[in-house]
Amino acid sequence: MKPSIVFCHGIWADGSCFNKVIPALQADGYEVIAAQYGLDSLAGDVSMTKRSFSRVSGPILLVGHSYGGSVITAAGVDERVAGLVYIAALAPDADETSQGQQDKFPHTDIFGEVEVDNGRVWLKPSGVECFAGDLTPEEKKLAWATHFAPEATLFTKKVDGTAWKSKPSGYIVANNDRTVHPELQRAAAKRMDASTHEVDSSHVPMLSKPGFVLDVIRKAAMTLEHSSK
């Protein structure tokens, strides 16, 4: 049975950050949806993601970018989820928070390019280079103009469930990432025994290297399809 694909976005983004890969997957015949959530709390974002599962057929391939990796780690324990793909993503264990996982590795350049205002974490205009440095100038301006600021304590909460411990996972490592450290990504992929794919990209390979990301997602979806027969 052909799986459905559900995308989960990170901070400073929403579901539209997958707009370069969703149309191609739809053309392949997959049911696709991008979960939209408020970046107000991890529990709330996970709950909203699970609600989106009812909008597609199972089994589900759950794909998370950046903080979206924390979301799919928890939401992925749902029985409707058959597999996971992480894109330059966090993947905390049960005893970690998203911030705690990052603190085990050198801080990236992005930490000096944010400011907290009214309880939300905003990206400075100069921070776009750390976030999406390999996009076109026009795309960088759009990324900053539309960035979605998270609640300031979002990364301090622990996940409830770790789906990567029990479900097949793939991981795309962004080698040139200045937001989530590439060494964190490699360690996360190794810890979860994921199928690992490295690409020379900024933090947003689904925008800078969409063809590469599509290939990884397609292979993961095909594997699930064959295993369900």
Residue 229 in this model has a pLDDT that exceeds 80: no
Has residue 147 been placed in a domain?
no
| Span 98-146, pLDDT tens digits | 999 999 999 999 999 999 999 999 999 999 999 999 999 999 999 999 9
Has residue 212 been placed in a domain?
yes
Has residue 59 been placed in a domain?
yes
Has residue 140 been placed in a domain?
no
Has residue 121 been placed in a domain?
no
Has residue 65 been placed in a domain?
yes
Residue 220 in this model has a pLDDT that exceeds 80: yes
- The number of domains in the chain is 1
Where residue 214 sits, what CATH number does that domain have? 3.40.50.1820
Bridge partners of residue 203, in order along the sequence: none
Has residue 201 been placed in a domain?
yes
Has residue 49 been placed in a domain?
yes
Q: Which helix (H) or strand (E) holds 145?
A: helix 137-145
Q: What is the pTM of this model?
A: 0.97
Measure the CA dihedral 108/83/44/18, to 10°. 60
Domain that holds residue 85: 4-104+154-227
